[in-house]
Amino acid sequence: MQWDEKPYHSLDYEMKRRFGEKVYRLTLNGGMTCPNRDGTLGSGGCIFCSGGGSGDFAASASLPVGAQLDSQKALIRQKRTIHKFIAYFQAFTNTYAPVDYLEQIFLEAIADPEVVVLSIATRPDCLPPDVLRLLERLNRIKPVWVELGLQTIHEETARLIRRGYPLSCFAQAVRELRQRGIEVIVHTILGLPGETRAQMLQTADYLNGCDIQGVKLQLLHILRGTELAGWYAAQRVRPLDEETYIDLVVDCVGLLSPDIVIHRLTGDGPSGLLIAPLWSTRKRTVLNHIHAAFRCRDVWQGKYRRPKEEASCPSHSLSTN
């Protein structure tokens, strides 16, 4: 299978296939918080979460959504000509608000004629029935993607990072979204404290049993102001080195079904907050090294995939034995 000469099903390839040209993501801020920070489940967030709630690159929440879109477009068009965009609500939990407010900001985003996809980052435990009905209605206007922060399938790690929900909640959220025809993108983190290589690969393998459409593979970043930063200072956690991370990424992609779109192979840590690993700041170089590793090892997406036994997510993690 060919994906523009890359050994995996990239987002860039998928967007050109669907829309006939390059599509660029605009990161937006709906001004929401998270049940892991407002006292509902906790007050400190996940151990790796900065004050931006993974939205450190998003536009200012003080601006209306339309103004955020315009400001983000202006920045992008200083460097390249782009005609189509993904409106990506990134900061914190973007379904954690009254449904009337969500409808207002989401409709404002998709009213922009240059926006071709609405993408919403959220938690599986923040998708009540009224929100699901709203997303289903919006999906009839323009494609809606819901990005779920899974990070790991292993419950012990989930408790350690204070994720705040069980794997069964994730599996149920995927089923609810797919019943409504909404595409699901899953965020996973490689290098979480205490996880073995086998456990990280099991998370990737598990996703083949789920009806998901995309994956983001993310390196664990240690950011200032997080609990994880204190662990790092106390030498309780050590980030992955570049060679280990690249090897893991290649193996994860080799396990994933070719139908799953790879939205990310690595990620950026905000330069003002990143403590470690500093090698990750060379994003283009790291991506080049990942692509070279695919060629050197003769690996492509799905090479190691086992036959899929069922079409929906199991609600439990795989054995670590």
What tens digit of pLDDT does each residue of 219-278 get?
999 999 999 999 999 999 999 999 999 999 999 999 999 999 999 999 888 888 999 999
* Entry pTM: 0.93
Backbone angles phi, psi at 91, to 5 degrees: -70, 125
Omega of the bond leading into 113 within 30 degrees of 0 (cis): no
Neighbours of 26 (CB within 10 A): 26
**CA 231, CA 191: separation in Å to the nearest integer?**
14
Q: What is the mean pLDDT of the chain?
A: 92
At 71-121, the pLDDT tens digits run: 999 999 999 999 999 999 998 999 999 999 999 999 999 999 999 999 999
CB 85 within 8 A of CB 27: no
Of 7-11, 21-25, 271-275, which range is least confident? Answer: 271-275
List the structure tokens of 210: 């789920």
| Domain spanning 11-297, CATH class | alpha beta
